[in-house]
Amino acid sequence: MNQLLSHPAIQKIAAVTRGTKFENQLYLVGGAVRDSFLGLAPKNDLDLVTELDATELADLLFEKSASTIKPQIFARFGTAMVQIEETQIELITARRESYDSDSRKPHTEPATLLDDARRRDFTVNTLLLNVHTGEIVDLLGNAVTDVKSKILRTPLEPAATFHDDPLRMLRAVRFKHQLGFEFAPGLGEALTQESHRLEIISQERIRDEFSKIIIGPNPDVALDELREFGLLKTWASELEAMVGVEQGKYHYADVWVHTLAVLKNAETNDLTIALACLLHDIAKPLTKSIDEKGDIRFFDHEVIGADLAYELCTRWRYSQDTASEVRLLVRNHMRLNSMESMSTPAARRIVRDLGDSLESWLQLINADASSLKSGVRKLDLEPIRKKLEETKITAPVNQWQSPLSGDEIIEIIQIQPGPIIGEIKNHLENLVIEGQIAPDDKEAAKDALHKYLRNRPNHSGVDHQN
């Protein structure tokens, strides 16, 4: 606890409030105290609770120049946010809460520290540390024991705690794996009983917890527990659809188990890569077919899956940048499947298409390949990575463009702008990538354009003889 009390922000708060009515009335609470018990480093956000007025405390800290920003006051909840020594600190007036059955937003009223402890999610997050005396206070009587025994227990009956704030169910699974805890008796059953309540929680709040789970410890086990407890079906039924979808001779497991293995094998704390691992085969349930030989096929699952992955990421309120990159990774995750060796043109196309996502793409492909049936696919990424790096150095992407602009193509073939212009530019760009014409050779590009049109079926009134 000494490390927590010696935090510069806590020392400043203790000094400013000494000799005021707040002396001996301020307590650190929540994850910081819990983590200190577990020997973990303190995070850069702290919570302080008091039976006095937290908003008045915020004003005092600002007046005394302890807080470097004007406090953010949330009068409805009796809380305030201050910043001290570059640390975000939430000041909380002890309160009790009550909930309407169809809303997560609580009705609150000031209360005792014991009432405040009872409204919290888990006993291990109710420990109090007096910032002036260093005294540890365990108002519930079992919080210290639960921390030391690594038991996750709710202050009230678990069904009641989860009913009040259903997001706590996701937090239960996250804490179990993040902290290496076990559930107290009855907690797992309550998760199943109250799982439907997640439907009242906003996508943003679910997203934040879900993100911490998939980049945290044991993401494969944690995700499967979410499924077992029924915590996926209300907001991510597309993930559940992968369960039981067999994949054929190259796989040892169904799509769901394979997906969990890919996520585990990625060993990443990069959210975009984790999402791509989770969603790379999301369209397999939609595209499954069996050919005349009885083999299972998933034609175009990477194409359909890319759009579905984008749709899910946006529905879950991830940023457009994240959703777009996940779509790019999913769309290209099969790209090396039939490639025995990488030619220079192939390397150029991959560098062009993947851009800054190239390393993320390689990590996804490696995790996917390492999750197949043993002996099916031996993928050595080092020569591939070397080839791609050499390609990036020797020929910048901007050199692989069509020598003719869209306007120049329009002028040459005398046609209104339309899809054919992009088609022609793409063809010329491929010729550059393949080394058949130079990126600055407009005459060769014009010859290639005319040849392309002569061999192309007549559309849009283009004169093939130009």
In this prediction, residues 441-456 reach a mean pLDDT of 87
Please name the residues in contact with 275: beta carbons below 8 A apart, sequence gap of 6 or more: 214, 309, 313, 318, 322, 326
- Number of alpha carbons in the 13 Å side-chain half-sphere of residue 214: 21
Q: pLDDT higher for 252 or 40?
A: 40
Residue type, 362: L
Q: Residue 122's pLDDT is what?
A: 98
Q: What is the DSSP string of 279-294?
A: HTTTTHHHHEEE-TTS
In this prediction, residues 303-314 reach a mean pLDDT of 98
Q: Which residue has the tokens 């497991």?
A: 253
Instruction: Taking each helix axis as running N to C, give the angle between helix 271-279 and helix 203-214, from 0 to 180 degrees, rounded to the nearest 10.
Output: 90
Asked if 97 and 119 count as a contact pair (C-beta separation under 8 A), the reply is yes
In this prediction, residues 236-264 reach a mean pLDDT of 92
* pLDDT tens track for 322-337: 999 999 999 999 998 7
- Provide the percentage of residues in the chain whose pLDDT is more than 90: 65
Q: Residue 107's pLDDT is what?
A: 76
In this structure, which CATH number among 1.10.3470.10, 3.40.50.970, 1.10.110.30, 3.30.460.10 belongs to the domain 150-235?
1.10.110.30
Q: pLDDT higher for 70 or 392?
A: 70
280: closest CA among 261, 297, 301?
301
Q: pLDDT higher for 316 or 344?
A: 316
Domain(s) labelled CATH 3.30.460.10 in the chain stretch across: 2-149
Q: Residue 131's pLDDT is what?
A: 97
User: Three-class SS of residue 205?
Assistant: helix
| CATH architecture assigned to 401-454 | Orthogonal Bundle (1.10)
- For residue 374, what pLDDT band results from cuts at 50, 70 and 90? low
| CATH architecture assigned to 246-398 | Orthogonal Bundle (1.10)
Domain(s) labelled CATH 1.10.110.30 in the chain stretch across: 150-235
* pLDDT tens track for 266-308: 999 999 999 999 999 999 999 999 998 889 999 999 999 999 9
User: Three-class SS of residue 325?
Assistant: helix
- For residue 466, what pLDDT band results from cuts at 50, 70 and 90? very low
Q: With a cut of 50, say whether residue 460 has pLDDT above it.
A: no
* pLDDT tens track for 182-204: 999 999 999 999 999 999 999 99
Average confidence score pLDDT of the chain: 91
- For residue 397, what pLDDT band results from cuts at 50, 70 and 90? low
Q: Residue 1's pLDDT is what?
A: 63
* pLDDT tens track for 119-147: 999 999 999 999 999 999 999 999 999 99
- Provide the percentage of residues in the chain whose pLDDT is more than 70: 94
Q: Residue 103's pLDDT is what?
A: 63
- For residue 399, what pLDDT band results from cuts at 50, 70 and 90? confident
Domain(s) labelled CATH 1.10.246 in the chain stretch across: 401-454
Q: Which residue has the tokens 């940048």?
A: 321
Which of 90-99, 118-127, 244-253, 426-435 reaches the highest mean pLDDT?
Answer: 118-127
In this prediction, residues 152-165 reach a mean pLDDT of 96
CATH number belonging to domain 2-149: 3.30.460.10
Q: pLDDT higher for 106 or 61?
A: 61
Q: With a cut of 70, say whether residue 209 has pLDDT above it.
A: yes
pTM of the model: 0.87
Domain(s) labelled CATH 1.10.3210 in the chain stretch across: 246-398
